Chain A
Amino acid sequence: MASLAAPAAIEGQYLDFRSPLRWRRGRKAKRPRSIIPGFGLTMGFTLAWLSLIVLIPLSLIFLRSAGMGWEAFAQVAFSPRAIAAYRISFGTALAAALVNGVFGLIIAWVFTRYTFPGRRMFDALIDLPFALPTAVAGIALTAIYANNGWLGQYLEPLGITAAYNPIGITIALIFIGLPFIVRSVEPVLIDLNVEVEEAALSLGAQPWQVFAHVIFPAIMPALLTGFALALARGVGEYGSVIFIAGNMPFESEIAPLLIVTQLEQYNYDGATAIALVMLAISFAMLLFINVVQAWSRHRTGA
């Protein structure tokens, strides 16, 4: 800011030989000087890249939908079948992310807090859902959880049908989303200062109080990040779900499948309309999670 208030004489000197660039110089002076060069270049790349990969494709969805007219848009995007599909997609994704939030946290806790034989191998297994083709996961899960499958046969007498319904979808999404939670929380748990826990214990806190008041608030932002990633992945997941879902309209049909169905009928407008609604809901959810995170970070005064 101080440089903005530079005496006019100095400003004038520059004017003599750089007058066409004067406006630029004024703008540059507003930015605090960074010792790391390359802001212009990297920012340019960032904007170009984001535009090419994210913004342009997504804005095409808006443009295409805008061309439909409201009536036609609402007819596809808010048809009872579509609304049921949104409910299933977001409901199962949310349920799966919540389940993962709990068990992913426990797994990360065990991997970082204790040493036991085979820990590294188990730790490596966590990443498999990232690497496995989703269709393979879907087929495998179906084989296991179908009524005549490995685990499904024991669940059926209990009155639990674990395939071809929303429970099946949730199982597939739990499988897909687990690494997001574990991998987000693990580094934070490792970095957690043991002294802080000892301090809490020395002040008379019970172990559960140490967890609730000291450890959990520290890992909360990371857990939220993992939750958001798992949720987002779950909403968009297609490959692993369609095998185990059963894909009954109104019952176990996910929104991504509905989009594919529309595409197969060459109804591109319908597909983009559904996509737009999904996009809007997803964006709202992620924005909400980000706001919560920003709030909790702000509270730590960091």
Chain B
Amino acid sequence: MITLESITKRFATFEALKSIDLKVRDGEFLALLGPSGSGKTTLLRIIAGLAFPDAGRVRFEGEDVTHLAVAQRQVGFVFQHYALFKHMTVAENVGFGLSVRPRGQLPGKTEIRKRALELLDLVQLADLGNRYPGQLSGGQRQRVALARALAVEPKLLLLDEPFGALDAKVRKDLRRWLRTLHEQMGLTSIFVTHDQDEALELADRVAVMDHGVIEQVGTPDQIYMHPHSGFVSDFVGDTNSLPVDMVGGTATFHGQSIFTHIGALAEGAARLDFRPHDVTIADDSDGCLPIVVSAAYRKGGVWRVEGQLAGKAAPIEVDIDSGAPRPQPGQRLALKIERAQIFSRQAAA
């Protein structure tokens, strides 16, 4: 169990982390998700021991490691740009962590080589041990970096935007492969990403960060279906958001009732968020949102429709079953919101 207790970090006048509390369970795959500048990489570096907090504690299994250097923490760290040793072969890279062990624990040369080749086998690069990193593709380099981090048998694996420098196809393959690897090894892992798809696909739990605070921690499903704040709703997945007035459990937009909220919420100004797939097309009737189609294109199995809503500048994005004919620009559609999240107004954008 990794425990972070009110971690605070400040760079000159910029407050990078504001009293972060977080628990990471054993064997868990946790994603730190957030836009750039949200503090997610800083937090990861503090967990690794590559940076140190101004206040707060980092505990591994209850033991306070706040002031331990990275070398003493037994963590594996994988960098976005691989950070391989260019002048060493792939096998030497992987074996590096073993070859720098102190005299008493230093394995023999053949032992190190054997272990390195085993790990290269694990990352499916068994044939490339004698190559140099410069001769490998990006995806291969990242797998070497992973094997190198695993060679020292870390208690915790930390990955900083591990797929950030790779192209889409390689990224997807490597993602799937990493998930399988994690399932096999069960090593507690934390990875940083700004890509919500990546976080939702890979992680057991996601911590969404913004401006140095954790907005929400939860399973990908919780994060997507029940965002706690407007920011999370906005950042994870596509979202339409409308300024509404709550009157007796009903959300009204420009005087028109558009969504009947089940459950109690404070009266007054609020923000209503709904996903593109949370709507159905209705016959022109009450309780609907009338939009004028400005564009429609195929997005996988649905039509993604961009429409203008009177009284709102940003276009509304909705998905419509592609069994129906493609909506034409200028066409009017009446949308019925089936599912929505309501946030109090101070969080509204």
The interface bits of chain A over 186-211 (1 if a CB of B lies within 8 angstroms of the residue's CB, else 0) are 00000001011011111111100100
**A30, CB-defined interface residue at 8 Å:** no
The interface bits of chain B over 85-124 (1 if a CB of A lies within 8 angstroms of the residue's CB, else 0) are 1110000000011001100000000000000000000000
Task: Please give 10 more A-B residue pairs, beta carbons under 8 A apart, in addition to A203-B148, A203-B152, A213-B85.
Answer: A199-B85, A202-B50, A202-B77, A203-B71, A204-B152, A213-B100, A217-B85, A299-B87, A300-B87, A301-B132
**A302, CB-defined interface residue at 8 Å:** yes
**B328, CB-defined interface residue at 8 Å:** no
**B170, CB-defined interface residue at 8 Å:** no
Instruction: For residue A126, give the distance in angstroms from its CB to the closest CB of chain B.
Output: 27
Residues of B within 8 A of A200 (CB): 85, 96, 100
**B217, CB-defined interface residue at 8 Å:** no
Residues of B within 8 A of A302 (CB): 86, 132, 134
Residues of A within 8 A of B77 (CB): 198-199, 202
Residues of B within 8 A of A198 (CB): 50, 70, 77, 79, 83
Let me know if B135 and A203 touch, CB within 8 A. Answer: no
Let me know if B100 and A203 touch, CB within 8 A. Answer: yes
Q: Which residue of B lies closest to A217 (CB)?
A: B87
Let me know if B71 and A201 touch, CB within 8 A. Answer: yes
Interface residues of A in 203-240 (CB under 8 A from B): 203-206, 209, 213-214, 217-218
Given contacts A202-B48, A204-B152, A301-B135, contact A195 B70 (CB under 8 A): no
The interface bits of chain A over 39-83 (1 if a CB of B lies within 8 angstroms of the residue's CB, else 0) are 000000000000000000000000000000000000000000000
Report how far A299 CA is from B134 CA in the complex, Å: 10
| Choice from B83, B132, B134, B135 contacting A199 with Cβ under 8 Å | B83
Report how far A199 CA is from B101 CA in the complex, Å: 15
Report how far A199 CA is from B142 CA in the complex, Å: 13
Interface residues of B (CB under 8 A from A): 48-50, 69-71, 75-77, 79, 81, 83-87, 96-97, 100-101, 131-135, 145, 148-149, 151-152
A-B contact pairs, 15 of them (CB 8 A): A195-B81, A195-B83, A198-B70, A198-B77, A201-B50, A202-B49, A202-B50, A202-B71, A204-B71, A204-B101, A213-B100, A217-B85, A218-B87, A301-B133, A301-B134
Report how far A24 CA is from B83 CA in the complex, Å: 48
Let me know if A300 and B132 touch, CB within 8 A. Answer: yes
Q: Which residue of B lies closest to A298 (CB)?
A: B132
The interface bits of chain A over 240-264 (1 if a CB of B lies within 8 angstroms of the residue's CB, else 0) are 0000000000000000000000000
Residues of A within 8 A of B50 (CB): 198, 201-202
Let me know if B70 and A300 touch, CB within 8 A. Answer: no
Q: Which residue of A lies closest to B135 (CB)?
A: A301
Let me know if B86 and A199 touch, CB within 8 A. Answer: no
Residues of A within 8 A of B83 (CB): 193, 195-196, 198-199
Report how far A302 CA is from B81 CA in the complex, Å: 17
Residues of B within 8 A of A218 (CB): 86-87
Let me know if B96 and A205 touch, CB within 8 A. Answer: yes
Let me know if A214 and B85 touch, CB within 8 A. Answer: yes
Report how far A214 CA is from B81 CA in the complex, Å: 16
Let me know if A196 and B149 touch, CB within 8 A. Answer: no
Instruction: For residue B76, give the distance in angstroms from its CB to the closest CB of chain A.
Output: 7
Let me know if A204 and B100 touch, CB within 8 A. Answer: yes
Instruction: For residue A298, give the distance in angstroms from its CB to the closest CB of chain B.
Output: 9
Residues of A within 8 A of B69 (CB): 201
Q: Which residue of B lies closest to A208 (CB)?
A: B100
Q: Which residue of B lies closest to A301 (CB)?
A: B132
Q: Which residue of A lies closest to B134 (CB)?
A: A301
Residues of B within 8 A of A205 (CB): 71, 96-97, 100
Instruction: For residue B153, give the distance in angstroms from its CB to the closest CB of chain A.
Output: 11
Q: Which residue of B lies closest to A199 (CB)?
A: B83
Residues of B within 8 A of A196 (CB): 83-85
Residues of A within 8 A of B135 (CB): 301
Report how far A288 CA is from B113 CA in the complex, Å: 32
Residues of B within 8 A of A214 (CB): 85
Q: Which residue of B lies closest to A216 (CB)?
A: B87
Report how far A237 CA is from B150 CA in the complex, Å: 54
Residues of B within 8 A of A201 (CB): 50, 69-71
Residues of A within 8 A of B75 (CB): 202
The interface bits of chain A over 6-35 (1 if a CB of B lies within 8 angstroms of the residue's CB, else 0) are 000000000000000000000000000000
Report how far A199 CA is from B75 CA in the complex, Å: 11
The listed residue with most B CB atoms (<10 A of its CB), out of A193, A201, A203, A218, is A203
Residues of B within 8 A of A195 (CB): 79, 81, 83
Report how far A209 CA is from B77 CA in the complex, Å: 18
